[in-house]
Structure 1
């Protein structure tokens, strides 16, 4: 007896709930750029997607070192005055002090200027405010301590552009101030002697996108040139610039692209003891080349972890020492602190997910929830006691990735739970800084930019803040925005993927913000094998085939997709290309970023002799194809007109079976009738 089940009764495998944005193919321009650059048409399309519209632009992009740079003295109006102040302080043996920040950008900036100024003969020291007790940026305590120590010139790095009161106090005490920062400009600027900020220069300048470490690098190199001591600095500053720029997610365009490209070549053989020690403890020793992801996922997090959980002095000493023993000791401290950071993030993330899922379930069951679920409120505001506010920003990013909505996450700063400090992360359609301004009367301190921010408030204002943010979210977000966005460059077949294509991608590096790694997608990919690995990941073997011919197989990794295991047997997949070097043998792998049900497949579920089956139809070049799965995970692939089908079972090689014999004949006949009944088609067999 055959019984077709309704969709509600079917067992549906969960997939990432995403929206795919696939770039429009531009065949004529692709051909011209591919011919001019000798790149694969796939990568020519990638260049077009990055706004590179002509062969001439493509050549400049691929060879950034050929671009003639303007002088930073022309672009940064206050740079000549800054150099004059520094040269006078050096010549007069005046004390100089640096006020840095506790993130990777601020710490690498501080270390860069310390190394440069000491090499150039300055008397210089530094201070970084406490993340836990003081928060971001220069403050009056630091200014007055500098003054008491006899400091005559203060340099801020990666902060200061909105620090009106501390800088006014410094000037009142007779201390000169140079602000070097890259954050958004306030309505009025502080009364510093000089301000270096790329937001103050022309939008067309190649220096426009530099991070705080980029401003520090420009100042240091310009100072060395003015003193005729460029040779003394060597290449160490470029390495620190590269670390800070990538770790801070600065756009890899303009001089960032040019200088990071050079810095990545230097890092594997770094002359800095601290960098070599960090490379050693992160398992990157022996690497012939360094990719941005090595910094973004290996070196950068270990630097950032210290600023989040411990004393930034550890990183400053790591990056300024020339003693190998001290460098290794500091690098090991970074490693241990990063492990602590990972554990905290995992714990807080799981607790936050449990809170959100409980709200979703309560709402689905018609029960009252402490806050609206993501699709209803269009923004998540999650606050819990006991969370470490040094890592909640990372958790906010993971929740954005999971739920596809802006996330505001906070924790209480006191046992009485009267004050909250939080972090925010966003999606492209939602401006965090505008949202915080919309709620400014409910907040204490706040700041940030379009994609991220920080804030504090009295606990009594929490519900009002949640309501206000939901109002703002409903003004700028539509329901279609509430899914994680996967931006895809172009479609590729599995047969087009090889090491030659991967080598060509090197020409596009360094990849990162505003120049992301290419993302390809392939249709109707077969999942041959899959298993859970690590803490919530899936490792797969995939191919793209039909029942007659079989393509090459690739290993694929799906980070943090454990909730979707097991994945269906056939999917459209979006991915980046990666390599795996095992025992000297390099192989190409796929890093999955998106999955969806193949659009060409229609599925029905039916019962046969008390057993549940799911049947899917695919329109293939070789004709119609049925894929039939039972409740034990076995899958039968039947090609129209063929008597031999392929049987797939977990952990086994595919086998061939005769569908004219039992039990396969009855199963195929039932599946054909079920799917044809559902879709109004003629019989399959």
Structure 2
């Protein structure tokens, strides 16, 4: 383990992440008013304002989403009623129903959800999932022909189908009823299915707009069970699968998703589903929590499910999530664990090979504005994860592919974007060179003949030049507010709980602190950094983790840091830690804090001015402190920040005191 205290790099160019920081403008007066109305700290009120919740009413709806009136799904989805009717009829007539899913976490949880629901409702139901390696994404004519031959009369797609014109046309030709449930972007023309349920058909203001495939499946299953009067005992099971799939698919945690996920995350630690119990046990997630956090799914449960779809047979996950046999569940959870370890090794290997290739090729990404990289012998199942890591590293959209055959005639790839770049629109722009493709704003998949690779690369670069400026080509760190280490208390962290679940569309609040000193740092695990920071003239030290930042070791001694807050419990003690997301060289000199002593109205005071924090502090002989940030009308008065009250410093007695302190500092 490498370790260093008070590091000061010498004789080499300091390497730090290549980032652009976007700091939200401070709105102190509005934040103070909102804090008074909500009971939150001004720091978190500022976060609410940044998210667009600027009034007490809007803030209360965000903090308590269950209080918001939601439209009924039947009123939102035009084809929901006919879909329920067709399924009711198929169940009543004992027609064979097939669910055609997909091999990612969303597709597999959607398939398991509908299998559980339809079996509960007495349907004759089975499922089919295409092979990632042989078929690629989504329903195809081979699957339709095989299902028809096996006597299935109704096909229900989940998390796919909206662009599968040939397969849907084949089903119609064979007289099979077909219902598409999907959430991917709509093609210019929709397939001729009997019914389509897709939130992208809804108005952008609809609370259902951000549903993942598993969310559409959940609505269909719950509505059907309600119509049949058999909902009792089913909802909790389905809500757990909805929660697992929605977070694992990186769906936006807004609207109806956020409302339902708050409930679902509370259910998961005490899951009714044998498979989820085994998965939690295998992945090391604490079962003592009142609720799981999105990161428990995003970094522990989700990857173990996704690894199966990437490298093995999705049937393992379907059985895991539908079985009631504890032995089978544990066996399948162990398979997920083993396959996930293999997935981690492959990702690491391919990422290092990709970085080496990029560095050796000396690609001018500022000129290209997009990274297209295709190499043989990479596993198609994991290149999407590597694409995400390359976006984090280089800050440009990444299209990564590998050859499907030994002759290197066909390429299949994955794409990941940055906020200003729409992946699906980019693929549409290049469709003349592509075979199959699909996706949404942030991610997509594609295939193409190898002979089209150079034309595809040029076309993508052309699209990128139309929507990206050079300043966009750095990983973006969006920051909510500046915080002093004294702000970062357990009380603040507990207030943060009302912001959860955080994720896509509702990101974790990001704070920043300028000019901190790196007291200690060391590399831990597989290239992570563990650090201790301090601020000038403050006894508080904060520990921090920086995932995958080992290559930046050692950090310079003075830096500005951007971070999320996390809780660390060890030996019964709970403390707040920082999770670094951004770092840059400090622009402030090591110490810009002035101090002075003065008398005002025959009372003794001490004062200090921190230029790095733009903050004046005045302390009286009883230890009470008045803290004011430069240019603000509202200050804090109290023995500690936790019990401090807000005061208007333009009032005469405060104003005169501040003038006396300022004069003392000028003379010091």
Query: Corresponding residue for 2:458?
Result: 467
Find 1:322's aligned residue among 321, 324, 338: 324
* 1:404 aligned residue: 395
Following superposition, the deviation at residue 135 of structure 1 comes to: 0.6
Q: Which residue of 2 aligns with 1:677?
A: none
Which whole-Å CA distance do the structure 2 matches of 1:483 and 1:204 have between them? 31
Is 1:358 the counterpart of 2:366? The answer is no
Cα separation, 1, equivalents of 2:68 and 2:441: 30
Which of 547, 552, 564 does residue 559 from structure 1 map onto? 547
Cα offset for 1:453?
1.4
Counterparts of residues 98-117 of structure 1 (less than 5 Å): 98-117=99-118
1:240 is matched with 241
The equivalent residue for 1:619 is: 592
The separation in 1 between residues aligned to 2:246 and 2:397, in whole angstroms, is 25
Alignment gaps of 5+ in structure 2: 1-9, 596-607, 611-668
Contact 2:77–2:197 at 8 Å: present in 1 too? yes
Between the aligned partners of 2:448 and 2:143, the Cα distance in structure 1 is 24
**Residue of structure 1 equivalent to 2:527:** 536
What is the rounded CA distance, in whole Å, between the counterparts of 1:419 and 1:461 in structure 2?
10
The equivalent residue for 1:592 is 580
Match of residue 426, structure 2, among 427, 432, 435: 435
Alignment of 1:67-466 (within 5 A): 67-288=68-289, 289-360=291-362, 372-466=363-457
Partner deviation per Cα, 1:630-667 (whole Å, 9 max, x = no partner) = xxxxxxxxxxxxxxxxxxxxxxxxxxxxxxxxxxxxxx
Q: 1:232 to 1:496 in 2, by over 3 A?
A: closer
TM-fit CA distance, 1:115: 0.3
Q: 1:478 to 1:621 in 2, by over 3 A?
A: farther
CA distance in 2, matches of 1:56, 1:156: 40
Shift of 1:219: 0.5
SS at match of 2:554: coil
Residues of 2 paired with 1:344 and 1:18: CA distance? 27
Match of 2:477 among 467, 486, 496: 486
| Structure 1 unmatched runs, 5+ | 1-8, 361-371, 602-616, 626-685
In 2, Cα distance between the equivalents of 1:282 and 1:624?
A: 49
Kept in 2, the 8 Å contact 1:618–1:624? The answer is no
2:480–2:510 Cα contact (<8 Å) kept: yes
Partner deviation per Cα, 1:438-497 (whole Å, 9 max, x = no partner): 222222222222211111122222222222222222232222111110000000001110
In 2, the alpha carbon distance for the partners of 1:138 and 1:598 equals 53
CA contact (8 A) 2:280 2:287 kept: no
Contact 1:522 1:573 in 2 (8 A): yes
Report which stretch shifted further, 239-248 or 67-76: 67-76
Q: Matched residues in 2 for 1:483 and 1:50: separation?
A: 23
The 8 Å contact of residues 273 and 324 in structure 2, kept in 1 or not, is answered as yes
- What is the CA–CA distance in structure 2 between the aligned matches of 1:551 and 1:374, rounded to whole Å? 44
Secondary structure of the corresponding residue to residue 231 of structure 1:
coil
Deviation at 1:234, TM superposition (A): 4.2
Contact 1:119–1:232 under 8 Å retained in 2: no
The corresponding residue for 1:679 is none
CA distance in 2 between partners of 1:467 and 1:68 (Å): 49
Deviating above 3 A after TM superposition, structure 1's stretches of 4 or more consecutive aligned residues are: 617-625
2:631 matched to which residue of 1? none
- Give the deviation of 1:156 after TM superposition: 0.4
1:524 to 512, 515, 521: 515
Once residues 129 and 567 of structure 1 are traced to their aligned partners in structure 2, the CA distance between those partners, rounded to angstroms, is 47
| 1:571 pairs with 2:559 | yes
CA contact 1:117–1:124 (8 Å) conserved in 2: yes
The answer to whether the 8 Å contact 2:24/2:479 transfers is yes
Q: Which residue of 1 aligns with 2:600?
A: none
Give the 3 Å change call, closer, same or farther, for CA 285–598 of structure 1 in structure 2: closer
Question: Is 1:158–1:181's contact at 8 Å kept on the other side of the alignment?
Answer: yes
- 1:621 is paired with a residue of what secondary structure? strand
Give the secondary-structure state (helix, strand or coil) at the position aligned to 1:386.
coil
Distance in 1, matches of 2:285 and 2:414, equals: 32
Output the CA distance in 1 between the equivalents of 2:136 and 2:128: 13
SS in 1 for 2:448: strand
CA distance in 1, matches of 2:91, 2:609: 80
CA distance in 2, matches of 1:376, 1:205: 39
Is the Cα–Cα contact under 8 Å of residues 120 and 229 in structure 1 kept in the other structure?
A: yes
Give the whole-Å Cα distance in 1 for the aligned partners of 2:576 and 2:241: 31
Q: Is the 8 A contact 1:184 1:199 kept in 2?
A: yes
1:98 is paired with a residue of what secondary structure? strand
Shift of residue 432, structure 1, vs aligned partner: 1.7
2-side partners of 1:206 and 1:550: how far apart?
Answer: 45
* Structure 2 partner of 1:45: 46
3-state DSSP class of the match of 1:61?
helix
Displacement, 1:10?
6.2
> What is the alpha-carbon distance in structure 1 between the residues aligned to residue 526 and residue 355 of structure 2?
15
Distance in 2 separating the partners of 1:509 and 1:313: 32
CA contact (8 A) 1:495 1:551 kept: no
Within 2, Cα distance between the matches of 1:36 and 1:624?
A: 30
* Cα separation, 1, equivalents of 2:482 and 2:185: 37
Aligned equivalents of 1:621, 1:208: Cα separation in 2: 53
Q: SS where residue 286 of structure 1 aligns? A: coil
Displacement after TM superposition at 1:618 (Å): 4.6
| Aligned counterpart for 2:506 among listed residues 509, 515, 521 | 515
Provide the rounded CA distance (Å) in 2 between the counterparts of 1:528 and 1:71.
55
User: How far off is 1:54 after superposition?
Assistant: 0.6
- Once residues 297 and 448 of structure 1 are traced to their aligned partners in structure 2, the CA distance between those partners, rounded to angstroms, is 22
For structure 1, which segment, 304-313 or 226-235, has the greater mean C-alpha deviation from structure 2 after superposition?
A: 226-235
Within 1, Cα distance between the matches of 2:306 and 2:401? 19
Q: Does the Cα contact within 8 Å between 2:425 and 2:441 map onto a contact in 1?
A: yes
Structure 2-normalised TM-score? 0.86
Cα separation, 2, equivalents of 1:439 and 1:106: 26
1:615-640 Cα shifts (integer Å, max 9, x gaps) = xx553335999xxxxxxxxxxxxxxx
**What is the CA-CA distance between 1:510 and the residue it aligns to?**
0.7
